[in-house]
Structure formats: structure tokens, C-alpha cells
Structure 1
Amino acid sequence: MGKYLMVGAGLSGAVIGRHLAEAGHEVTVVDSRSHVGGNCHTERDPDTGVMVHVYGPHIFHTDDEEVWEYVNAYERFLPYRNRVKATTGGAVYSLPVNLHTINQFFGKTLRPDEARDFIVNEQADTSIDDPQTFEEQAMRFVGRDLYEAFFKGYTMKQWGCHPSELPASILKRLPVRFNYDDNYFFHRFQGMPEHGYTAMVERILDHPAIDVRLQTVFSRNQAGAYDHVFYSGPLDGWFDYELGRLGYRTLDFERFTCDGDYQGCAVMNYGEVGVPYTRITEHKHFAPWENHAGSVCYREFSRACDPGDIPYYPIRQVAEKALLQDYVALAEGAEGVSFVGRLGTYRYLDMDVTIREALDTARGFLGHVQAGTRPPAFFVAPL
């Protein structure tokens, strides 16, 4: 029987820990926070009864049937479709950009084939053959008018730089639809946990071989007491930032409450630079099966992450990738530790991908244990 430590009680630590516990090993999970679940932590607001996504909304969507069955084994997921709205230029539109958005924005009544021809032949900048930046990708995709209304200002606020400084790959994730489908995601399985994500993670960690220690700050000298450590904290933090800090964006939340319904939807984006926040989220709409007289809303502000802040989005521009390469080299020389999850691999990961990688990591690790071989520092390469 092995003795293993999970640093972090988020999805990565919980899923890996549960898998190893079920295989007969002894697992300790530590987290510096007072709750499990990491950034997908949810809790009931005591005044309104609304289930609040404390660190910003988390919407579960996946095409991975095993992952969908996994989460539903620990918490019932109820139907939820993410239908985002955007306020720009004094009007409210539907996102992602779809046929309704196009017709409303340009004051037209185009059919799907007409809208496609209109965007491709009259709006898109076809002189851009090989888009390299976010701005070029948007101009090539939808043209200047839609880019400036829905993408430019939002992106400048979210990333703290001009879209011409960001890679085109960021925008490749944003669909444009020539029908009236306003479901933000394409995935087969979409939903929200009936009693919140924290309840789900608590159940994953509810095993006699798992010892959970909250409000416990990990230090590297504790690693020697375990056969192996799975570290889901910041990669550079394991090495005490000796090469410098990897860049992240963080979020500040301005919480407010109201009676009734504040905005009529879960997510309202604000695309104009003159509005300092990127969006307002109204949390009772994330659980449409519930009814609440009051409402809890968050205004979201994005900024550069300072020491002591919660890191949300890895920047991964040229300078960060160069520093990441140096940290990966250090990590691969480290003994007795594997780096997992969003922070451990310095990658933006959706929840379903995090769970998939955690399952694969746990299975791969047990294979190394059985074979008597050394587990890798990364089961999924950060670069």
C-alpha cells in the first residue's frame, strides 16, 4: 500500500485521490482554503438561498461520456444551456454571434445562406490569408464591425492588452453560427450539479482511505513523508518562484444583491471599453429549476495577477512560454512529484478536461507503480 499526497482539493486532487484510494492506497489531501472544490466551489447565500459560484460561474459541458457518467455518479446534473447575452452600442444581442445577432446588428432579415455570403463576401477581410493574431482572426472571421462590437473591447479588458498582441488561437474557440442556435456550447452533455460542485467534490473525497486537511498550507519539505506527491498548485510555486513568476490574469468580483430578477439571464457581457467590467453574472439563473425572490450578482473585473491573488487564466504569451520551458526542465528533474491540473501544467482547462486528465493520470500512475518504474513529472505535457 502506497502513501500519497494530493496538494489541492480541487477536481484534480479529488479525482486522482479517489482513484488511488479505491485501488487500496492511503491518500492525504491538503488545501490552504477552508473548503474543497477549488475555483468551482459553490455555496448557498444565507439571505437569498441562491447557489453562488463563489469564484465565478462554472458550466459543465463535455462530449466525454465517461466523464459525464463520472460526475453524475457523485451528483445529479440537471439540464442547463448557457445562453449568453451582450450589451454593446446601446442594445442587447445574443452570443455567440449567430443569425439573430447578425440580422439584429445589421438591421437585416437574412436567411442562413444569405448571412453566410454577407459575412464572407461583404464583412470578412479576405486579404488576411494566414491570421496570426486575435485581431486578424476576428477580422478574417467576421469583419471589423462585429469584431469591434463584440470582441475588441471585451478582449482588451479580459487580457489587459490589445487583441493584436494575442495569438489567433484564442479566438478559434469562439463559434459563429448561421442559424438561430444560441447555445454557447456544442457539447452533447451539458448541465449543472443540482446541489453545487462543492457537494460533488465532497462526495468524491468521501472515502475511508482519504484524509482531507483544509486550511493547511503545503511546504515542499513535507513531501518526504509520502511515496509520491500530486501537486495541483502553481508550477512555479513548487520551486519558490526561483526563476520568476509565470503570468496570469486574475478576477475581482463586485458582489451585489437585489429583489426580483436583475438582468433576466445568467451572463451579460459588456463589450465596450468604457464599461470597466467584462460581464455581470446572475447566479440564480445557473439553477433554473429553483425559485428565489432575491438575487445575487457579480460584476467581474479582470486584471494582472499579483502575488497573493488567485490565478485564473494563464497568459502563455512568448515570454511566459519561455519561462514555462525552464520550469518544465526543472520539474522533470524533480523526484517524487507529478504536476497536474490547470496550475500545475500552466494551461487553461475546462472541468471535463481536468477530470479526464485526472482519471488518465491516476491510471497511468498505478501502471508505473505496478511496473516499478518512475512516474513522470507530467502525465500531460504543458508545452
Structure 2
Amino acid sequence: MDILLVGAGLSGAVIGRALAEAGHHCTVIDSRSHLGGNCHMVRDEETGVNVHVYGPHIFHTDHAEVWGYVNRFETFQPYKNRVKTTAQGQVFSLPINLHTINQFYGKTMRPDEARAFIESQADTSITDPQTFEEQALRFVGPDLYEAFFKGYTEKQWGCSPTELPASILKRLPVRFNYDDNYFFHRFQGMPERGYTAMIADILDHPGIDLHLETPFTPEMAGRYGHVFWSGPLDGFFGYELGRLGYRTLDFERFTATGDWQGCAVMNYGDRDVPYTRITEHKHFSPWESHEGSVLYREYSRACGPEDIPYYPIRLVEEKALLADYVARAEREEGVTFVGRLGTYRYLDMDVTIRESLDTAAAFLGRDANQPMPSFVKAPL
């Protein structure tokens, strides 16, 4: 079968590779001038640093099959994400751990003492946290919430934490030991040559044709037996019902000599600092050596029609509109919506790959007359 994959990021590449290896002919198109989607990396001409163009992506997973898959196409170097934050005139480590707690309160507590102390700070009257703020107040109390979460969250999401669901904060752990590794997954690392090189190798198959700077047009679908769409779900329908809400990022680049901030990621928790964080990209490739350094201040704001969508908002209004688009998508034939944009969900890279492998398996495993569903992973 001739298959069209819209989007040359992880979803399109992984699905396309699996189908091509099974004997299908796959055409992958992307409206951008590069492959890799928001994982795209490029060498900075001034410093030689391999830069994460759309913000840093650290690979972490508990899926042994996914880890084996990416290492099939790229050598992954060990890398632990150790985030720092500047708040209230001091630098702390994140996620909140025993060092953070002792430093913030000027104490020398052991794990059991710190656990009891934080529980004494928490608002135990909140038994079923519904909002981000309630979740934070219940589990860390007002002091740590104000220092590390409130201002950062207001900048990142452009609204009060009282308007955000508790589920956002549930992804951020509090540790009562000195482990400052931001992630807790078994497998963690960075691609030696970068994600763009890895995705180029995934797409390097005689059964795959790649066309960049090629926007999708509706008449294309009629020339293929099936379409896998990893662009914006609402974009497939020309935004006829309205636009799903996203946050986007603006990047302010600057360079330095030597080591400018001593870490890859420095968050800024105070509300009066307009940016959310500064990233120093040579620290993401510690096996390389560069005298120069390139850094980016990140500013979060509402995503406009011409902006790159990063984070789906998924509040009440967006979920209602999403339900309308999902219902419409399920009436479509010959197209499957995949990936972060196609399913309007925040997905880590390993989940994107896992779902892409599952989507390809579903396509290959169905009976000849069995239709492929619009969503292998439901957005709602």
C-alpha cells in the first residue's frame, strides 16, 4: 500500500519505518525545512554546540523495548537531568529533595524528620485536591509552593494555579533523600549525534520517500491508501470549529565564553523574572568540549495562529472543543491521528515512540477489510 505520513517528527518516522520494513511504500512530508519536529537539533555556527532548536529534550524511559529501539539508530550517552532553580535570592535543586528542604528552612533534618516536618506544613484540610494550587498546598505547604511553583506556573501557563488541574503537579515528585536526578526512569541519556541524526537514520529506508517544505493539501489524501496525521488535530479540519489552545515559547539567544551558569537548566521561580528558565546547551552534551557557550532565555505565552504549538492547555473550554474535533475525526475514513499534536496530549518522547510502534502494529495486524481506527490512543 502507498501510505502518507504527515510530519517528519518521531511519530511519522517511527510509524513510517515500521510500515516500510513490512513492505509498504511510505511518503513522509513536512511543512518545515528540516526533519525531527520539535526534537530538531543543529550545530551552532558561532560556538559549535549542538543546540536543541525548540528547547531541550532529555530522553528517559522505563520501556526496555523503546530504549532498544532508539539505540538501534543512535548511540545514547549517559545523561542525568539535574535542574536548579533561582528563587528568593538563592539557588536550589529540583525536584524538591532533602537538600532543597534543609537548605530552604535552614535545618539538618533526616528523611523521617523532613517527611514529618513537611506534613506539618501541609494543608491537611484538603483531602481531594482538584487544582494545581490545592495539590501543592496539600503536599508541600504554602512556603515551598510560593517559592518553587506558584510564580513559575503563572509564567508557564499564563493563568492562576487555581485554574489548572491537580494532575499537572502530580508529575513533579518530592523526595526525602538527596537524589537530585529530575527523572526516575531506568534508562536515561542523550543521543551522541543528536535527535535529528537519529530520526534521519530511522527514515533512511528504500521504502520511504521524504519531502520537506511540503505542506499537506486535502487532495493528497486521495492518492494514498492511508494517511497518518501527526499535525494539529484541529489543523486537519482547517480549524473550522475553532483553535485548540496551546502555550508557545519565545527564545532569547545569547552567547558566552566558558561556563556561564554551571548547569544545563536553571529555572526562575520568582514571578517578577519574566522568563521561566535559562538553558545552556553545551551541558546537554557533556562528552563534547566547547570554549564558547550558547544559552537561551525561555518566555512562555499564548500560542497564536502563526506560532509553533508546544504545550496543550486542556482546560475545560479546550476539552469541550477537543471532544467536538474527536467526534469529527472518528467520522473520517482512511486517516489515523497520532502524536502530541494529532491527539492533543502532552507526550514525552518515549511515549510517542511506544504509541507509534503500537500504531504501526495495529495497522499491520488488522484484517484486510478491517478499517484502521482514527485514534489508536484516544485523546479524551
Q: Which TM bucket (shorter chain)?
A: over 0.9
Tell me which residue corresponds to 1:48: 47
Q: Aligned Cα RMSD in Å?
A: 0.5
TM-score, normalising length: structure 2: 0.99
- Report the 3-state secondary structure (helix = DSSP H, G, I; strand = E; otherwise coil) of the residue aligned with 1:284: helix
- Per the alignment, in what secondary structure is the counterpart of residue 168 of structure 2? helix
**Letter paired with 1:143:** G
Shift of 1:372: 2.1
Q: Aligned residue for 2:255?
A: 257
Q: Distance in 2 between matches of 1:265 and 1:95?
A: 12
Partner of residue 166, structure 1? 164
Partner of residue 143, structure 1? 141
CA offsets per residue over residues 14-51 of structure 1, 9 Å max, x none?
Answer: 00000000000100000011111000001111221101
Tell me, in whole angstroms, the C-alpha distance in 2 between the residues paired with 1:372 and 1:27: 20
Q: Deviations over 1:248-306 (max 9, x none)?
A: 00000001111111100000000011000000000000011111000010100000000
Residue matched to 2:359: 361
Q: Distance in 2 between matches of 1:233 and 1:62?
A: 24
Identical residues among aligned pairs (%)? 77
Please give the per-residue CA displacement for 1:208-253, whole angstroms capped at 9, x wherever unaligned.
Answer: 1100000111112211000000000000000001100000000000
Distance in 2 (alpha carbons) for counterparts of 1:235 and 1:255: 31
| Counterpart residue number, 1:322 | 320
CA distance in 1, matches of 2:111, 2:59: 29
Counterpart amino acid of residue 203 in structure 1:
D
Equivalent in the alignment of 1:235: 233
Q: Deviations over 1:86-117 (max 9, x none)?
A: 00111000000000000000000000000000
Q: Residue 248 of structure 2 aligns to which amino acid in structure 1? A: T
Return the letter of the residue paired with 2:371. Answer: R
CA drift of 1:192 comes to 0.1
Counterpart for residue 110 of structure 1? 109
Equivalent in the alignment of 2:370: 373
> Secondary structure of the residue that 1:359 maps to in structure 2?
helix
Match of 1:16 in 2: 15
1:63 matched residue in structure 2: 62
Q: Secondary structure at the match of 1:212?
A: strand
- Off by >6 Å, runs of 4+ in structure 1: none
1:1-383 equivalence runs, <5 A: 2-121=1-120, 123-368=121-366, 370-383=367-380
Looking at structure 2, the residues matched to 241 and 221 of structure 1 have their Cα atoms a distance apart, in angstroms, of 17
Secondary structure at 1:154 match in 2: helix
TM-fit CA distance, 1:335: 1.3
SS in 1 for 2:5: strand
* CA-to-aligned-CA distance 1:305-332 (integer Å, 9 cap, x gap): 0001000000000000000000000000
1: CA distance, partners of 2:46 / 2:144? 40
Amino acid at match of 1:160: G
CA drift at 1:371: 3.6
Mapped to 2, the partners of 1:329 and 1:273 lie a distance apart of: 39
